[in-house]
């Protein structure tokens, strides 16, 4: 654990983007209702934030490519979707799962997750529901929810399985009791929500 003096004004400035994202993720997680917090892990909150951002990037790229560059719709959706997939992997690796493992094996595992996502969920569930008479936008929404849950599970238990590193802590010794009282741990690790709230 890295311990800094309270009088060290540079402690805050040394926090990385990953540290700041982790702090935001933890704060949002701590604000969840008790029962929901027991079910939803903190990295799911981080995943939701990052994937909302990459979805917006997807839509922006789609709009630019389809409306601005007049590319065919299938080409525009593929470019937007591909951009979002790559960005989601990189941001989740860096900010949410804090992985330092080699990129090669992770990329292969991520490709597997994406292929299942595309063929089984996006095409299989979405198209299947539409063929069964479900309204096409509702079919796409249901497929998107399945896709999001599968991609999170795939990232947590397949892509980044055991590859994550402990988060570097920057805390003061004097602030440790306050951090515990606020639901955090003095060493920057994620606390056991159940034990803190009981």
Q: Which H helix or E strand runs over 22?
A: helix 17-30
User: What does residue 135 show for φ and ψ, rounded to 5 degrees?
Assistant: -55, 135
CB count in 10 Å sphere of residue 37: 19
Predicted confidence (pLDDT) per residue in 34-85, tens digit? 887 788 888 888 888 898 898 889 888 988 988 889 888 878 888 888 898 8
pLDDT tens digits, 4-28: 444 444 545 577 877 888 888 888 8
Its pTM surpasses 0.75:
no
Task: Considering only CA atoms, give the Rg of the chain.
Answer: 20
- How many CA atoms does the CB half-sphere of 89 hold within 13 Å? 19
- The DSSP output letter for 38 is H
Q: Which two tokens stand for residue 166?
A: 């402990």
In which band, very low, low, confident or very high, does the pLDDT at 170 lie, cut at 50, 70 and 90?
very low
Per-residue 3-state assignment (H helix, E strand, C coil) for 84-141: HHHHHHHHHHHHHCCECCCHHHHHHHHHHHHHHHHHHHHHHHHHHHHHCCCCHHHHHH
């Amino acid at each position: 654990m890295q311990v800094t003096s309270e009088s060290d004004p540079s402690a805050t400035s040394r926090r990385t983007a990953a540290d700041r994202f982790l702090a935001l993720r933890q704060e949002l997680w701590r604000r969840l209702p008790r029962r929901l917090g027991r079910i939803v892990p903190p990295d799911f909150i981080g995943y939701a934030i990052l994937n909302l951002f990459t979805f917006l990037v997807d839509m922006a790229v789609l709009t630019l490519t389809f409306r601005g560059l007049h590319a065919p719709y299938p080409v525009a959706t593929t470019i937007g979707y591909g951009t979002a997939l790559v960005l989601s992997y990189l941001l989740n690796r860096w900010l949410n799962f804090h992985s330092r493992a080699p990129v090669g094996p992770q990329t292969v595992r991520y490709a597997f997750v994406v292929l299942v996502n595309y063929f089984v969920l996006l095409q299989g569930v979405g198209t299947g529901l539409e063929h069964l008479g479900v309204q096409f936008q509702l079919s796409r929404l249901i497929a998107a929810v399945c896709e999001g849950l599968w991609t999170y599970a795939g990232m947590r238990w397949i892509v980044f399985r055991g590859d994550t590193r402990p988060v570097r802590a920057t805390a003061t010794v004097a602030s440790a009791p306050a951090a515990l009282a606020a639901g955090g741990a003095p060493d920057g690790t994620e606390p056991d929500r159940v034990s803190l709230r009981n």
